[in-house]
Amino acid sequence: MHKASFFAVEGVDGSGKSGMVAGIVAHLADSGAPAIATREPGGTPQGEKIRSLLLSGADHAWDQQSELLMMTAARVEHVRRIILPTLERGISVVSDRYVGSTIAYQGAGRGMSESYIRHLHKEAVGDVWPDLVVILDLDPEIGLARSRQRLSAGAIDEGRFETLDLDFHRRIRQSFLDQAAKTPARHVVIDALGTPDEVRARAIDAIEMWRAARK
């Protein structure tokens, strides 16, 4: 039996994470490793409530401290109710975003201290880190154009973080690259420019190399 693994998919808005999560889950299942797809903020009824509080409505609806604590609260529920119990059953978990997004958005984006965010994570959530983080790397200008198109087509009221300026999103992209450079064994950076099929193939190749190296 394959050992269950915890994967997180990270990237700027509009980098194609949700399709990628589904693609990784399908690939793992095909290779005999059952997996579930989940997301943050969200993944539990409690977390989904926090998600709608955070992501609908105007920007600056919350103080940045409140925003950080709410993201973390959603993660506590997610880790305790979904992520750890699923891994314990031998089923892999693929999460659309995890604490890497908090380091990028609340840290590099909003300017909060990264050491504070990491400390809060350890205290609140525990030392639970993904086995592998797949970073979909994309110029945020392209990502923002993609997600604006999607938000207006679907009339989804989740535009909050997309409304922040381009510099904010450039800091997010750089933070993901910095996180990968800091712990390369736990990250792969995938060029997210291309068709969804092309980008998925790149990610799956990288995951297979990582799995082979781990055996």
Q: Which residues bind ligand TYD (CB under 6 A)?
A: 13, 17, 40-41, 55, 71, 96-97, 101-102, 105-106, 147, 161
Rounded to a whole number of angstroms, the minimum distance from the CB of residue 3 to ligand TYD is 25
Rounded to a whole number of angstroms, the minimum distance from the CB of residue 204 to ligand TYD is 20
27 vs 42, beta carbon nearer ligand TYD: 42
Spatial strand order in the sheet of 92-96: 35-39, 92-96, 6-11, 132-137, 187-191
96 vs 137, beta carbon nearer ligand TYD: 96
Rounded to a whole number of angstroms, the minimum distance from the CB of residue 51 to ligand TYD is 8
Rounded to a whole number of angstroms, the minimum distance from the CB of residue 160 to ligand TYD is 7
Phi/psi for 187 (5° steps) reads -135, 145
Rounded to a whole number of angstroms, the minimum distance from the CB of residue 141 to ligand TYD is 15
Give the Cα separation of 83 and 152 in Å (integer): 32
Phi/psi for 9 (5° steps) reads -110, 125
33 vs 138, beta carbon nearer ligand TYD: 138
At position 38, the amino acid (one-letter code) is: T
106 vs 179, beta carbon nearer ligand TYD: 106
Q: Which long-range contacts (CB under 8 A, 24 or more apart) does 69-72 make?
A: 69/120, 70/41, 71/40, 71/41, 71/101, 71/102, 71/106, 72/102, 72/120, 72/121, 72/124, 72/125
33 vs 117, beta carbon nearer ligand TYD: 117
